[in-house]
Amino acid sequence: MWGGYRGGVTSDSSMAAPAMAEAPGPSAASATRYRCAACGNLTRFSVVTNRRTKAFHHFSVGGELTLEDVEVLDETVEEVSCRWCGNGNAVETVDNAETVETGSPNPN
């Protein structure tokens, strides 16, 4: 007989937990553009996000985990601060239509 095999669970309790796969990529909420009114930064921000996801966990026979079909159920941006000047109070959202290829706000 197969000894320790019981429907996907082995009797070897010394098996280490598999490493988690990387978190899902940016969602619509995290694709928001920001601008620091204090220093003019348009490119570098620290963003704290609380994200609730649903995903299919696929374990290989070797125990490696792969996350598939990741669906963001809820996402809340909790804090945004400028990486250049450190200011968190002067950061504002920028409409993507207001930026041009150079990354500068539209002068119009």
pLDDT tens for residues 22-31? 555 555 555 7
38 neighbors 87 (Cβ within 8 angstroms): yes
**pLDDT tens-digit map of 2-61:** 344 344 444 343 344 434 445 555 555 557 899 999 999 999 999 999 999 999 999 999
| Residue 80: both structure tokens together | 């945004």
- The string of pLDDT tens digits covering residues 65-79 is 999 999 999 999 999
- Domain residues of the chain, as ranges? 29-96
Question: Among 57, 66, 70, 68, which Cα is nearest to 26's?
Answer: 70
pLDDT at position 31: 77
Q: What is the pTM of this model?
A: 0.57
* Tokens standing for residue 70: 């990741």
Distance separating alpha carbons of residues 98 and 12, to the nearest angstrom: 59
CB 53 within 8 A of CB 72: yes
C-alpha dihedral sign at 35, 40, 45, 46: negative
* Closest among 55, 49, 54 to 73, alpha carbons compared: 54
